[in-house]
Amino acid sequence: MGHLTYFPLNHPNEKPPFEAEFFLRNGLRDVVYQLTTGRPCVYLICDGDEIYVTDNIEKGINFCTELNQVHIQEWESFEDAYAVALNMKENHPLCFDNRYKLN
């Protein structure tokens, strides 16, 4: 069984995210389709340690392979979603280009 945490577009910080349990990818798809706002947005999807940014939720769901802990956030732009993704991977050795690093 997998667990989904979902933050829709403009979700207030003080409210908890939507959470749901699902079985298999089709179960995840069914739950996500019920939660999406229907407005154009960018999805930041975390599946295990992997991060995927897309404006196509179907491709985002297909990206998920572990299906244990899936976190999805809706953002207004790629800029916003990529800024969050970058922040999430800040400690990863490949996060920043070392060619321009100051000593």
Q: The pTM is what?
A: 0.83
pLDDT tens string 65-103: 888 899 999 999 999 999 999 888 766 666 556 665 655
**Residue among 84, 62, 65 at smallest CA distance from 73:** 84
Split into its structural domains, the chain has a count of 1
pLDDT tens, position by position, 17-58: 899 999 988 999 999 998 887 789 999 999 988 899 999 999
Please give the distance of CA 88 from its chain centroid, rounded to a whole number. 11
CATH number for 48: 3.10.20
| Rounded-to-integer distance, Cα 66 and Cα 81, Å | 21
**Domain extent for 90:** 2-100
